[in-house]
Structure 1
Amino acid sequence: MSVHDDLTSVQRCLDDLTRSVSRLEQQLGSGGLDMRRVRADADHLRESVQLLRAAASLQATPAKPELVTIPDTPYDPKLWTDSDDEGLGARDRHAP
């Protein structure tokens, strides 16, 4: 199964859980600590699955790399006045 199918299956199970918790609340009342805890846990699971679904959709679509435009104009020669030519040595010295 794919991740999408698994998440859909989990969502269906959570929907069933939410309906069951609602029926229990009608039968037992929603004022008890245990019932509030079960409701909070079910809500927390629903939020967690939504986060998983969002994370899975981000991973499924690879981000396009940002394109950087490099101009065709030559660089300013003043940028290179304090550097040596790579591989050629310093200007006032000769290679061995």
Structure 2
Amino acid sequence: MSVHDELTRIQRCLDDLARSVGRLEQQIGGDGLEVRRVRTDAAHLRESVALLRQAAAPDAPRPDLVTISDAPYDLSLWTDSDDEGLGARDRRAP
């Protein structure tokens, strides 16, 4: 299955979930904390799928890749830094 098909399938499941939550609210009331949490969580899922759909769009801008060289770093960049967690080279731990 393609990404588009999977996202469409998820969207249908979320639509079913929203209908089920609506029916549940009618049966037990929508004032309880539990029902509000389920409704809110379902809304968050719907928003997340919408973000996924945007990110998976074929014309969505892709971030530029940055090439990192395998060459060693210039050691002079770290002459004034301490070894993290080990303390300074010329001092003792308290």
Percent identity over the alignment?
Answer: 69
Q: Give the Cα–Cα distance (whole angstroms) in 2 for the partners of residues 5 and 47 of structure 1.
A: 18
Q: Give the Cα–Cα distance (whole angstroms) in 1 for the partners of residues 47 and 18 of structure 2.
A: 13
Structure 1 segments of 4 or more deviating over 6 A?
none
Q: Give the Cα–Cα distance (whole angstroms) in 2 for the partners of residues 34 and 47 of structure 1.
A: 20
**Structure possessing the higher radius of gyration over alpha carbons:** 1
5 Å matches for 1:79-94?
A: none
Task: Tell me: CA distance 1:2–1:36, structure 2 relative to 1, closer, same or farther (3 Å).
Answer: same
Q: Are positions 1:39 and 2:50 aligned together?
A: no
Task: Tell me: CA distance 1:2–1:25, structure 2 relative to 1, closer, same or farther (3 Å).
Answer: same
Q: Give the Cα–Cα distance (whole angstroms) in 2 for the partners of residues 62 and 42 of structure 1.
A: 25
Q: Give the Cα–Cα distance (whole angstroms) in 1 for the partners of residues 37 and 16 of structure 2.
A: 17
Task: Tell me: CA distance 1:31–1:55, structure 2 relative to 1, closer, same or farther (3 Å).
Answer: same
- How far apart are 1:61 and its partner, in Å? 2.3
Aligned residue number for residue 10 of structure 2: 10
Q: CA RMSD, aligned part only? A: 1.2
Q: Give the Cα–Cα distance (whole angstroms) in 1 for the partners of residues 59 and 18 of structure 2.
A: 31
Aligned residue number for residue 19 of structure 2: 19
Gap runs ≥5 in structure 2: 62-94
Instruction: Name the TM-score, length of structure 1 as normaliser.
Output: 0.61
